[in-house]
Structure 1
Amino acid sequence: MIAGLTPSSDPGNDGLTARETEVLRLIARGLSNPEIAGQLFISEATVKTHINNTFAKIGARHRAEAVRYAFRKGIVSEGV
């Protein structure tokens, strides 16, 4: 689990893969693409692919909308 964010047991995440959900949690934590790549040991290009796929699935146009979605769906929560 990513420190500072608590995943929901059943977020109802519109078909996101586990990796897409993980990337979304890191976006919500405020990490940049290079930071996400380093944390997950994947390339920045792969991060961008995950982000593009996630945004398409959830209908987000930018990171702020994606973060709002993550909180609304319980993928992340405040406080921890």
Structure 2
Amino acid sequence: MDRRFKITLAVFAVIALFLLWGEHRVHLLGALPWLILLACPFMHIFMHGGHGGHGHHNQHGSQHGKTGDQRDEQ
């Protein structure tokens, strides 16, 4: 894409957002508490993805109480 096209698109997007904010501010701010509550389940689903599933917790349970050197020897 041409650089001028990207700048023009960004300017139009800023203008559109400004006009939408001015006309629909009351509706957006009224829905904000519900959007925060709606975000909770999504954060729970997507932010727990790095834990490796349910079996992952049991693997760490067997190593509690051991020092780092003891775990490296196994």
Q: TM-score, normalised by structure 1?
A: 0.25
Greater C-alpha radius of gyration: 2
Q: TM-score, normalised by structure 2?
A: 0.27
Question: Bigger relative contact order, structure 1 or 2, given CA contacts below 8 A and separation 6+?
Answer: 1
Greater helix proportion: 2
